[in-house]
Each structure stands twice: as structure tokens, then as C-alpha cells.
Amino acid sequence: MKINSIIIYKAMFYSSLAVINIIAFSLIGLSFLGASNANGEGSPIMTESGTFIKRSLLIVIISLAFAGLAFLVSFLFRNVIGIGKTGLKKIFFIELGAFIIIYLIVYSYLYLRFTT
């Protein structure tokens, strides 16, 4: 009976990490949507550097929040998955780095696609 509960806990752990990553990647994708200000309403049009800094700050906040959430989930399931303190730190930094790298890849792709 103990093996079945370990399998269920591991499935819960990995599915919760998958849900966290899906939500974080969705929020990263949503950061690229915004008003075009083509009709003149709303805030004034920002420069490319201003929008890059604004989006980058938003992505850093999203990345820190969801990497912290992944760390918390990993901490809660640490006995089930058999991970130590160094492993928990690695999970946090891997998640944080992955979110920021995906943002930079998508931003550079969109920048090259629509500006050249």
C-alpha cells in the first residue's frame, strides 16, 4: 500500500509543477499582448526600449513568483521525491532561468520578425 501512495504523491507533485509552468508560460505570452494605441486613445506610445524594460520587469516579477511557487511545492513534497536542500535550490534556479530564457527567446523572435 505504501508504494501506491508514493506513486500518487509523485503524480500530484509533477502535475502541480506542470500546472505552475503552464500558467507561468501563459502569463509570459500574455505580456506580449497589449493595446496598439492606433486610435489615439489610452496612454502615449512608448519607445522600444521603454516597452522592453517594462515587459522585462513584468517577466522578472512573474518568474520570481512562479519559481517561488515551484520551490514551495517542491518543499512540501521533499520527503516523497527524496530531494535535499541543494536540490530545492536547483529547482528554484532552473525554473527562474527557464522562464527568463523563454521570454528572451520569444521577445527576440518577435522583434526580429516584425522589425526587419
Grid coordinates of 36 = 496598439
Q: HEC states along the chain?
A: CHHHHHHHHHHHHHHHHHHHHHHHHHHHHHCCCCCCCCCCCCCCCCCHHHHHHHHHHHHHHHHHHHHHHHHHHHHHCHHHHCCCHHHHHHHHHHHHHHHHHHHHHHHHHHHHHHHC
- Tell me what pLDDT residue 111 has: 82
pTM, two decimal places? 0.78
Q: What is the pLDDT of residues 29-52, one digit of tens each?
A: 888 776 555 555 666 677 778 878
Which residue, 63, 67, 102, is CA-closest to 88?
67
State the pLDDT at residue 24: 92
| Residue 61 pLDDT level (bands cut at 50, 70, 90) | very high
Q: In angstroms, rounded to a whole number, what is the distance separating the alpha carbons of residues 34 and 60?
A: 18
pLDDT tens string 64-106: 999 999 999 999 988 888 888 888 889 889 999 999 999 889 8
Is the pLDDT reported for residue 7 higher than 70?
yes
